[in-house]
Homo-oligomer: A and B are copies of this chain.
């Protein structure tokens, strides 16, 4: 079953490093044994699985046993790990989860989006709403950083301003000044908006926020300008969820 990659296969896989090609073909890449296994055990549809070791359970016609040299031709990683798989990008589910929802206003860093998806998974947030300028969740760096969590969180790209306007659920936004999250009453249901790494929440989105909240600083010298957006998400989700235990 051992095979040699064709020029066309190499071309298709490599083209998926670009968002426009992922969208046109409806395909994305997962690398590494652990990540691929998570996607194989999910609702995602496998298209091709290229591996240097016969360790996966997958339909034979989708499996190619390739050489290390061929894996190096298609990987985006410096040190590729055994396998690379191509999956179909699913249609996003349109239902809003009735519980806690996280919304991102132009988060640009793939690592940040990836760890935010992991946090949503950890804290049982099933719906992540992204503004159209937020980095693509099928970017391979994002997929890598999610460690498989992408299979359990429904990510939707929407016009965030219109989205917030049409939903009556309470919208929380993180700002440098606002209610102290440690002493505020926080509901079990709500949309938590996090802003762009450099600029925070945009004015258009700010006008849709019902409650401005802040994570207070504890240092004597209050000089740190802001927390990393993924860390702010971690602290907020922790704070919203711990209240459900207290009740």
Residues on A facing B (Cβ under 8 Å): 38, 111, 115, 118-119, 121-124, 147-149, 152, 180, 182-183, 215, 217-221, 223-225, 227-228, 230-235, 238-239, 241-242, 244-246
Contacts and interface: CB of A to CB of B under 8 A. Distances in A.
A217 B234 CA distance: 12
Nearest to A122: B224
Given A111-B111, A241-B218, A119 B227 contact: yes
A197 to B, nearest CB: 11
18 contacts: A115-B230, A115-B231, A118-B224, A118-B227, A119-B231, A122-B215, A124-B217, A152-B219, A152-B224, A180-B245, A182-B246, A218-B244, A227-B234, A228-B230, A232-B234, A234-B235, A235-B238, A239-B242
Contact of A121 (B152, B180, B223, B242): B223
Contact of A231 (B147, B221, B230): B230
A190 B89 CA distance: 46
A238 B241 contact: no
A124 B234 contact: no
Nearest to A236: B238
A231 B146 CA distance: 13
B115 A228 contact: yes
Nearest to A182: B242
Contacts of A232: 234
Contact of A227 (B122, B215, B239): B122
Contacts of A241: 218
A201 to B, nearest CB: 19
Contact of A238 (B122, B215, B228, B244): B215
> Quick one: which of A118, A183, A232, A238 has the most chain B CB within 10 A?
A238
Contacts of A38: 223
> Quick one: which of A118, A180, A232 has the most chain B CB within 10 A?
A118
A106 to B, nearest CB: 19
Contacts of A217: 122-124
Given A115-B231, A122-B224, A230-B231, 18 more contacts: A111-B111, A118-B227, A121-B219, A121-B223, A122-B218, A122-B227, A123-B218, A148-B223, A148-B224, A152-B223, A180-B245, A182-B245, A218-B244, A231-B234, A234-B234, A234-B235, A234-B238, A238-B239
